[in-house]
Structure 1
Amino acid sequence: MVHNAFLITSADVSMQLISSTRNDAPDALRETMEAKRVDFVGGMVTEAMLDVEGVAFIDPLPLEPRLNRFRRNVICLSPTLEQQFFVLAGYLGNTSGGSAHAVIRSGEAAAMADVLRRSLLTFGVSLASATLLAGGDALVDHLPVEGDVFVVGLSAGDAGAIARHVASHGGVRVFVVFSEFALLHAEFVAAFRGGAGADRVVF
């Protein structure tokens, strides 16, 4: 996967695109910083890039969802994962209530499930089940056939699998955090082009 981030230098406020693989992204950033002055970085970032010292990150978009942790050099303008959970939980509480399920694929899955559980409880909704997956597990295999389900930790191919699932199961509604929808926007558009089940995917 090619990773792109942009940076702006202070000399003439110019913007430059950095292209690299996911694993090489921190080194690519360091090499650029050695070649020229970099004031801040924006766009898609990996967790390892955020550990690079000597540069600020303005509204970074993580390639994988992560819980917010204070970092002096990171300025968030877009909603954090916690805030996205809260908004979706509020919508669910106002439209149907009851309970919801979660399927989370992340190294922080347990902590994310706890944050989601607390957000749901704020609006009178319980978390009926939370399926916590490792990196290589197929997410769609764990989706319920009815009810509301939050999915976190999407990767390439998941949008199509979700589209097929909601088309086959009319009683299920899928909640996707907006940051992941934004990263996989083209895939979601292609997957739901026919419109079947699109009204049951909430982000």
Structure 2
Amino acid sequence: MERFGKRILPTAVAVGAGVLTLLGYLLPVPPFTTVRDEMVQWAVIVAAFAFILGFFNVLRVHLGRLARRASGWGYSLVLILTALISLLITAAGLVAEPARAASDWWFGYVLYPLQAAAAGLVAIVLAFSAFRLLRHRRSAETLFFLVAALVVLLGTTPLPGVIGERLAALRQWWMEVPAMAGMRGFLIGVGLGTLLMGLRVITGMDRPHSDV
């Protein structure tokens, strides 16, 4: 009975839900489409609750670090305050119409600039990593990586004159042709991997939902 509850039943539920959802896409006729849409809505609800649980788990972990005064507790304090402020402002903007202006201001002048700053730091870190990698291992791949990082970094910098315009145009071409080609290949690989993982779950070869 214990084996049934921990292994057989979760596997049967996962396989059944996966097969019904897949049939809804392969055979887009009722009642398969109705069951498919219902399954997708359930998945969205479960994902939303998982996101909420993850949010509170992050708060729990960093509150523990803050209470113990562990190393880096100041960063935990900043994270907790920022998360709570974002939660309160967003909730207030959804509930009360007058608070929506404050919510828009918070997203437009605090969160979005922080995201842009983080993206800029990533580019700088990649450039320095390329330099360090070039010192230890000199190869064509390393040089190509360094050139790509410098093109993106310099093309984003608002340099004056013709040099700035040409660097911006070069960056635009680089993002639309080589980078887009690599991104599409990466996305195709992710899609194939996701498809393979889904097939393994549907066929019962992988059982991440069971204890055994």
TM-score > 0.5, shorter chain as reference: no
TM-score interval w.r.t. the shorter chain? under 0.3
TM-score, with normalisation over the residues of structure 1? 0.28
Higher share of residues assigned helix: 2
Higher share of residues assigned strand: 1
TM-score, with normalisation over the residues of structure 2? 0.27
